[in-house]
A and B are shown apart, each in its own frame.
Chain A
């Protein structure tokens, strides 16, 4: 089923996607002429496939549950923000705060992601085939951030239990973020996620793992220079 944003209002398109009757409705949707519109495909709850033919604005796929969204273009701020489950695939680049606060699901970005990728992430798995900007995984709580390119300044600042895997260079690490040992458990997990992103060619051993030193988990005056 084709939904054209030049002909239909955003509300109508989202209403259609939010009110799926599994017995009667089509499970495949194509959104035409997104033209950078915001809040496309937000608050979805059903296991449907959506292809967006072009660039999207802010918060595409926000709070997604179960839907599988492919964006054939670039994505604006906060793509897949607070996603709970499902999959979002950005075939271009993503702006800042991609996957912000997301609790679950899978986000793949074929290009680069800007600053604060995975900020406060709470369980999502994110694979960025390019590089990520500064403050990525800031205060990240859970889940995995995999970057096949480089990472900008202050990676993983004040993070909790998220695992970060970087193949390229890291400009600098944020407070309490340290490089950690990559054991078999982590190699296996990374292989699985790379495969899920169709990146079987990449070798997990070429990545470095970063995580929390857990020194700032409880306030100590001796750590005051870290704040």
Chain B
């Protein structure tokens, strides 16, 4: 055919450029793609909801003067010492190993300044993190890498990790490049091996066993600290109900936008439910068991700003948790390292090969030279600034809805921009009173 400049070459929607590049990459390497982060595809999300604000029928609060409380208490069900946090935004579990020691320290510093908690991860508790965290949640993961009773007794709460939004039903990976001497020692592994974290706990299966496991943890810690149960956004109604039945003080529910240090791309993009679709079923479970506000619900997976915080709380959550956003706040994917990202074949904002340990920002690495790029004190300050901004934003929205406490926000304050979001959040589609599927939850 002759060249005709009036005809625009048509690209396939099915075989788009990214898809084609993945086919070529698989053909070239013979291995699936492993990466960090959460789902990158367009998903129904908090952006698809809007606050209605007050008007004649609702009375707003003065934006800068009237009180709007942000504090939250986690673990009121059984623990003698619940976590008292100043803001309802916590830092999610991220491992030393996946992150550098200074990055973990920065997270602890930032969280402490802002009056909230941070969380360990696979690989145990580091002194830097414990030392800089006023409230530290200690994770009990299937691998039990670095798990020891002395650290357990130093924890302010324990989080039994069952699932992660990025990979419900999947275990973890920490590739050999990141198994430094210190990481290897903490995990009792040979240096340089590709470390696999199991997808199931080694000493319990199912909700009846989980109840006994929680009993054991309470007996060891003398019933002092709250026990969280973290689940992935898989079957949020049943998993929340079973976690409550097993005796959880707090349920942490992580939707598919929630990040991971490393797993298969096919897993991240094809397993689990969007965060927005998980909240109402989890709240249903709490309400059906008369446990709403008695067992606290923490929502994570794609929380980025105060609007997301306010929307999650309006749908019934007690708090949210951030991981990816906290990493960005301390410097992950910062355009100032663009040249270095380019050398790695990527660009700022898209860098997700966290497992390879070459992070130009010095966060997801164990390379001493790169680690020096992150100043934990400055990075901690940035995180605390960001957390405070999120809180202020959430307060602004709550006051506009006439609420003197973030936890007084409710679904009635919201409408949805899309049919999908209306169905998932169970709020009316904008301009209508229609809530799709309301009689069929």
Contact = CB atoms under 8 A, between A and B. Distances in A.
Given A59-B203, A217-B194, A221-B30, A122 B216 contact: no
Contacts of A160: 189-190, 193
B216 A62 contact: yes
Interface in A161-219: 161, 217-219
Contact of B188 (A14, A122, A217): A122
A58 interface: yes
Contacts, number: 104
A101 B202 contact: yes
B144 interface: yes
Contact of A43 (B30, B203, B219): B219
B212 A58 contact: yes
Contacts of B53: none
Give the size category of A's interface with B: 35 or more
Central interface residue in A18, A101, A161, by most chain B CB within 10 Å: A101
Contact of A123 (B188, B194, B209): B188
Contacts of B148: 63, 82, 84, 103
Interface in B221-246: 221-223
Central interface residue in A39, A65, A97, by most chain B CB within 10 Å: A39
A25 B101 CA distance: 42
Interface string A49-69: 000000001110011010000
Interface string A77-104: 1100110100000000000110011010
Central interface residue in B30, B188, B194, by most chain A CB within 10 Å: B188
Give the size category of B's interface with A: 20 to 34
Given A100-B203, A103-B188, A38 B215 contact: yes
Nearest to B140: A82
Interface of A: 10-11, 14-15, 18, 38-39, 42-43, 45, 57-59, 62-63, 65, 77-78, 81-82, 84, 96-97, 100-101, 103, 116, 119-120, 122-123, 138-139, 141-142, 158, 160-161, 217-219, 221
24 contacts: A11-B219, A38-B215, A39-B219, A43-B149, A43-B220, A45-B149, A57-B212, A58-B204, A58-B209, A63-B148, A63-B220, A77-B212, A78-B203, A81-B202, A81-B203, A82-B144, A97-B203, A100-B202, A119-B202, A123-B188, A142-B188, A160-B193, A217-B192, A221-B29
Given A62-B216, A160-B189, 19 more contacts: A39-B212, A42-B216, A43-B149, A43-B221, A58-B213, A59-B203, A63-B148, A63-B152, A65-B149, A77-B209, A77-B212, A82-B144, A96-B203, A119-B203, A122-B188, A138-B202, A142-B188, A219-B31, A221-B30
Interface of B: 29-31, 143-144, 147-149, 152, 175-176, 187-190, 192-194, 196, 198, 202-204, 209, 212-213, 215-216, 219-223
